[in-house]
Amino acid sequence: MAELNGSQILVECLKEQGVDTIFGYPGGAVLNLYDELYRHQDEIKHILTSHEQGAAHAADGYARATGKVGVCLATSGPGATNLVTGIANAYMDSVPMVAITGNVGTNLLGKDSFQEVDIAGVTMPITKHNFIVKDVKKLAKTIRRAFKIAASGRPGPVLVDITKDVTANKCEYKKEDVKKADKAKKEKSFTEKELDKAAEMIAKAKRPVIFLGGGAIISEAHKEIKALVDLMDAPVCDSLMGKGAFDGTDKRYMGMIGMHGTKTANFSVTECDLLVVLGARFSDRVTGNTKSFAKRAKILHIDIDPAEINKNVKVDLSIEGDVKDVLKELNKKLTKQSHDEWMEHIAEMQAKYPLRYHENELTGPYFIEELYRLTKGDAIISTEVGQHQMWAAQFYKYSKPRTLLTSGGLGTMGYGLGASIGAQIGLPNKQVINLAGDGCFRMNMNELATAAHYNVPIIEVVFNNNVLGMVRQWQTLFYGKRYSQTLLSQDIDYVKLAESMNIKAFRVTKKEEVDEVIKKALKAKGPVFIEVVIDKNESVWPMVPAGATLEETFSEEDVKEKEAKAKK
């Protein structure tokens, strides 16, 4: 045993956990920690972001892309509160993350001291668990617990707040073999009886549909899902968070379900007699009106979190457990099904209701389709939130898990750029591309400076329509075209902004320019910025109005037909 101070203990514990990268921003309450990180910079890389929110998003992107626990670090007060949106984002999307904050000395707590904030209290509703460490003897145990909680079960963020005196105080430290400590046998949370019931439901189904959520990605269940799909002979849809859990190029794949899902996916869920739901939480953006959701079907729900069972939608059978573990056992009980008539009906709908866009002009969907073609689908795509996010879900095909990084639950504008930096640093041999709208880009565009400083070879694509596109689309459809505060400045030259940071930058204004610019960007060695100028009236189709049923999915053609009838 060695006697170490709190900062040394923290760094040793991070090394125990296999942490190789931290995203953060220094300040007074964490100076001792940063001094120790300086001594270990050959073992743990620290990425200085432009803002603490960027650090949290980068840790999130790193975690989603690699499957490891992401780590971010900030000082007390505003440093800690600047992490809050990133922590909430990770919580909503079940991302394993440990956020470490400093705080004032123990003797200054509760006295409104300079840069003092009760960050444990602030983040209690948006963390799996959080700690405040006021005794150096408890630090090592707390850090180990934080990582275990963040990664186990349904993953999520854990906050560890450490007072400044703890980072300087000393105690005995004993190294722990984390892998050995975690080898405790995992007990099954599901029963043979439940599996038998599930197999019986599947055997009786004539029109089954499989619906994949984010839990299917987290559990690394893509091989078991492919086996299930083949056994069931069923079509597949997914949520935004479930993309890549099943091959998006497979003929059984119908696309995304929900507000901007495909008509085929939405109508199939309305018509099916069995809906098998894997690792999804029945978000309102997925279900529409829950009273009418899958009303003709029995629902089988497999999820690791018992709190999600029957929370939003009542189901006929639930199995609590890791999706991968459950499917390994369930697939053994299934016999191969054949649903030719149902699959033919699905194929007819796919032919009747393809995703469409205006082909005679430069649009977001066209650019994304070309991006998919030129990357051969072999890229990690991160997004901000809005129209471009939905186009990324619709027009880029995801054949592998952990290849779409996006803010699903919280809907955080400004998420993607930081996430792309984290993903690229976590997987340096992958091509990482962030898709943004101009409104989202303005939220956290300061992180371009981070990409430039570390020469992170991301490609930042900004679809510039000079409006808050998704909000404007709602104003067009539901608010009588009263465009309140959705027009953005047209006087900003984003290309010059990128070039001011010595980032290679391009502006695309015509379809004919797209291929050449993408090819140049893919060949570049450092960060690249691409501005794609599109029309402000470009919208996302199809769409389900908020609170409506999936049966009410409508397309642009449906809107024009309705308007034409109204004029008559």
501 is catalytic: no
Q: Looking at 16, 128, 147, 164, which residue is catalytic?
A: 164
Angle at 16 between CA 77 and CA 170, to 5 degrees: 60
256 is catalytic: no
Angle at 497 between CA 385 and CA 51, to 5 degrees: 55
Stretch (H or E) spanning 303: strand 298-303
Q: Looking at 115, 170, 333, 536, which residue is catalytic?
A: 115
CA–CA distance, 461 with 441 (Å, rounded to integer): 9
Q: Looking at 12, 16, 36, 52, which residue is catalytic?
A: 52
Number of alpha carbons in the 13 Å side-chain half-sphere of residue 464: 23
Stretch (H or E) spanning 404: strand 404-405
DSSP H helices in 96-221: 119-123, 139-151, 164-168, 178-181, 192-204, 214-218
**CB 300, CB 211: distance < 8 Å:** no
**CB 35, CB 207: distance < 8 Å:** no
128 is catalytic: no
115 is catalytic: yes
Count of Cβ atoms closer than 10 Å to residue 13 Cβ: 22
**CB 102, CB 33: distance < 8 Å:** yes
In degrees and rounded to multiples of 5, residue 450 shows phi and psi of -65, -45
DSSP H helices in 250-355: 263-271, 284-287, 323-332, 340-352
β-pairing verdict for 208-212 and 170-173: unpaired
Within 8 A by CB and 6+ apart from 76, the residues are: 27, 28, 29, 30, 101, 102, 103, 104, 115, 116, 117, 119, 164
Task: For residue 103, count CB atoms less than 10 angstroms from its CB and return exposed for 0-12, middle for 13-18, buried for 19 or more.
Answer: buried
CA–CA distance, 460 with 453 (Å, rounded to integer): 15
Token pair of 162 as six digits: 């450490």
Token pair of 557 as six digits: 């053609």
164 is catalytic: yes
Within 8 A by CB and 6+ apart from 73, the residues are: 22, 23, 24, 25, 30, 33, 46, 55, 99, 100, 101
Q: Looking at 114, 141, 223, 499, which residue is catalytic?
A: 114
Tracing tokens 């053609």 back to the chain, one arrives at 557
CA–CA distance, 568 with 559 (Å, rounded to integer): 15
Q: Looking at 470, 475, 531, 543, which residue is catalytic?
A: 470
CA-based R_g, the chain, Å = 24
CA–CA distance, 395 with 463 (Å, rounded to integer): 15
Token pair of 118 as six digits: 């009760």
CA–CA distance, 27 with 31 (Å, rounded to integer): 6
The residues assigned a catalytic role are 52, 114-115, 164, 470
